Amino acid sequence: MINRHSPGSTRRLALGADKGYDSTGYDSADFVAEFRRMVVTPHVAQKARHSAINGRTTQHLGHALSQRRRKSIEEPFGWAKTVGGMSQTVHRGLDRVCAQFTMTMAACNLARLPKLLAA
């Protein structure tokens, strides 16, 4: 989807990603340079050491908002792994694992519901 973005457009895009998704990680100089070349701002969590994300990117309000949004998106998946038993499934087959995941995320939503209703 990023490749469809034309570099000459006036609207600047931002891309959110984890800092260590794979062995190379999204917080690598190659990843950041490629997206800057494509006129896309990488909103990636910084590594503690040797980060490719500089202060120019992290000082903007959009980066902070993106990181907060990323955390709220990842929290249910963390809950599913720790509480919901999704870290290692006991089922075999895509249909059964999909059903377990659906039930686990429904339970996560039910657990979050009282807090959401109180707000």
Ordered alpha helix ranges (H), the chain: 29-37, 55-58, 61-82, 94-118
**Residue 59 DSSP code:** T
Q: Report CA-CA distances (Å) from 49 to 41, 71, 94, 97, 118.
A: 20, 21, 39, 37, 40
pLDDT digits (tens, 9 = 90+) for 55-111: 666 677 777 787 788 788 888 999 999 998 898 888 899 999 999 999 999 999 999
Distance, in Å, from the CA atom of 42 to the CA atom of 66, rounded to the nearest integer, reads: 10
Q: Where are the domains of the chain?
A: 1-59, 74-119
In the three-class reduction of DSSP (H, G, I as helix; E, B as strand; rest coil), residue 114 is classed as: helix
Kindly report the pTM of this predicted structure: 0.59
pLDDT at position 79 is 92
